[in-house]
Chains A and B, each alone.
Chain A
Amino acid sequence: MSVTVVQEWLNACSGCEISIVDMGERLLDVLGLVEFVHSPVLMDHKYFGQLGDKTHLEIPEATVAIVSGGLRNEEHLEVLEEVRKKCAVLVALGTCATHGGIPALANRHPMADVLKRYYETETTDAPLRYPDDGLPPLLDRCYALDEKVKVDVYLPGCPPHPDQVFAALVALVQGTPLTLPAKSVCDHCPTVREGKGEVKKLRRFLQSPQYKGPDEPLDKMRCLLEQGILCMGPVTRGGCGGDQNTPRCMTARVPCRGCYGPVKHTGDQRVEMLNALASNGIDLSALPEFASMLRFSGAHGLLKTIPKRQEA
């Protein structure tokens, strides 16, 4: 008997789902091994019955649930709770689901300010009231899944590499344990680290790093952090390069920004990075702000609203 799968997306951009599709021909193998019973992006199963005439949101029972996106509104929460009830194993797919992801940057602002900006831009005709007719109310902030329900498997990444999505599905089908890379991005990075502590000052990424020429391999290029460019590799979980191993940012010779979240699930990328830089006496005055060190992992209460300055 094949394994039944529920796939849901909550406060998501659909990048995780495209990553599933980007398994390529392995996708067809997967479709032979698992039976999708609910997946809004792929198939037409509905929440309130196929004629929309039921009063309770219902998702079919399944062995595995794969859920992307964090929680932004009450419908996301209702769907997540129903999924948790109906599925034996809950997989949090992608950094929004595991750590809040980019949308959790909104957690720095009171919801009223977010709404005010969106509905009062220069091109928007000021509304009499904000939309509320038949819409799920917004939550006070963005949450990761495990702030509300128990999560069994974490597959971080923005998006997770297709190789890891495939490995996870195979492990779930075969009932074998899933091993994912657990060290930092630097552990997978081929660039040259000399570790001489020459860097005194970090700069913004406004010009290319130094390397000899277009065909110079990455294992001859100096570590970007050692070149004085902010790179979140040391405090970010590795694995983004999939089976090829090389971190995806490095392939383009750009610095890591932290998309796999902290190395340890409960880590704090901002605190860890600032500590690491401070203990090496590195001057950070060229960096205008540090909140975006948590751009992928601001849920779990790490990004908080900025207290309003008292006006005189």
Chain B
Amino acid sequence: MAQVINIQPITRIEGHASVSIQLDDRGEVLDSKVRFMSLRGFEKFIEGMPAEEVPRVVTRICGICPWQHHMASNKAVDRCYGVDLPPAGRKLRELMQTISHAEDKILHFYFLAAPDFVMGPDSHFSVRNVIGIAKAHPELAAQVVRMRYQTKMILEKFAGKAIHPHAGVVGGFSKPLLEEDRKEFLGKMKEMLDFACFTLDFAKTQVFPKYLDAVTTLGVIETGFIGTVDDAGALNFYDGKIRLMKPDGSFTDFESRDYADYLGEHVEPFSYGKFPYAKCWDEGFSLDVHNPRGIYRANTLARINVADRMATPRAQAELEEFREKFGRPAQLTLLHHWARLIEEVYACEHAVELLEGPEICDPNVRAKVQPRAGRGVGCVEAPRGTLIHDYTTDDNGCIVKANLIVGTTHNLGPINLSVGQAARALIHDGVVDETILNKIEMAVRAYDP
């Protein structure tokens, strides 16, 4: 008899989702769906608010990447109000956001993803978690916790609040950086860079090789990619042009304010979350596993694929090695983890660069602003992908309309396709066990939704 298998909730991810897999009479996979289970309606309830308050509200879209929402929102309001930032104000925003990337990637790798690799995908569910890792590898766990905490507390000490920040303000940053803090943070980020390099080396020598089989088969799909690059084509988390790449590697660059000409959002009846797609490819949207249309991916692998190069030396060397092994664009879904650790090295190197110049301590960090009617699109790279905030304000500088495309949502379509692929590869004759179901979830976890 036909059967439906539910994985609910998907665990060790940062949001709320579930999987249902439909089997036919022979126990083969007929269909699968990944459901995103709720919606909050930020686009609606920030209407009417003074725009300069919004960067302190939209942070609550995500407690893991609040800095990115904070910055995309601030950039959007800067543009609504027509203000240019003092260089140090812009640098401090970029520094804080870069450090938050460095902290987040370590969190994802060790706390959420590593249990599948370090403990093994077939280990018992009661130990396949960070607590299991802490017991099996106490020294490594202590080091991970200490390094992540030290990095995170830079944000807390300087900006007052590491989760749901408030120190980015329209027109710049709320306070300048003192020379003594600059020196302290520089030392800490150099230490974090060493730890980032250790982590990537650890993953390349002791983790990924063991699971090469999974890497080359699990959740594999072929899609396009999206990410942000600077004028020289190097990956940039804070600003630049958006690059949309087709599955064949050809790409188009566009300004973030023109996003609506390139991207659309599709609604499926089985998910509250919407499905962004490449409208400009003129092929529509389809989640048919055999013939997907309009599908591109965001997040680490996407950024590594769309970038011509990395702006810092160690990350560039890592990119070259990665590209030699996997080509461009690399399509294997589990390579998100590898790409994430290359980005980790970049984030640390870039934070060190930003902290090395004394000009970041310039006390002029905030321009005066005057509320006015306008429209502004603010875009940054969140850990989970290209993040777009688009606001329109009235004469009094209050929000009349907002449109948000949030990092994770770009991948809702690809996650559905990867789960469909993994389920079809792993489930036959109606045989399902815990290891199979966890492997299907691993195809989701790679995207860090």
Chain A interface (Cβ < 8 Å from any Cβ of B): 9, 11-19, 21-22, 24-25, 27-28, 31, 36, 40-48, 50-53, 72-73, 75-76, 101-103, 105-106, 108-109, 113-115, 117-119, 121-125, 127, 129-136, 138, 158-159, 204-208, 213-215, 248-254, 257, 259, 287-289, 291-292, 295
Contacts and interface: CB of A to CB of B under 8 A. Distances in A.
Given A114-B44, A122-B403, A134 B50 contact: no
B61 interface: yes
Nearest to B260: A123
A52 B49 contact: no
Contact of A251 (B160, B170, B438): B160
A76 B9 CA distance: 12
Interface string B221-257: 0000000000000000000000000000000000000
A28 B413 CA distance: 37
B107 A21 contact: yes
Nearest to A35: B131
A72 B163 contact: no
Q: Which of B162, B165, B371 has the most CB of A within 10 A?
A: B162
Contacts, number: 270
The 4 closest A-B pairs by CB, nearest first: A15-B63, A251-B160, A24-B149, A252-B160
B75 interface: no
B44 A22 contact: no
Contacts of B142: 25, 28
Contacts of A50: 125, 434, 437
B267 A127 contact: yes
Interface stretch (B31-39, B201-209, B334-342, B414-422): B31-39
B433 to A, nearest CB: 7
B8 A206 contact: no
Contacts of A114: 39, 41, 44-45
A207 B176 contact: no
A124 B265 contact: yes
A52 B6 contact: yes
Given A25-B142, A47-B8, A124 B134 contact: no
Chain A, interface SS category: loop
A159 B63 contact: yes
B216 interface: no
Contacts of B62: 13-15
Given A106-B44, A138-B39, A204-B50, A125 B145 contact: no
Given A106-B40, A248-B160, A252-B166, A208 B437 contact: no
A248 B43 CA distance: 27
B379 to A, nearest CB: 13
15 contacts: A15-B64, A15-B164, A43-B125, A103-B40, A114-B39, A117-B44, A123-B260, A129-B269, A132-B269, A207-B366, A251-B160, A252-B174, A257-B56, A292-B49, A292-B57
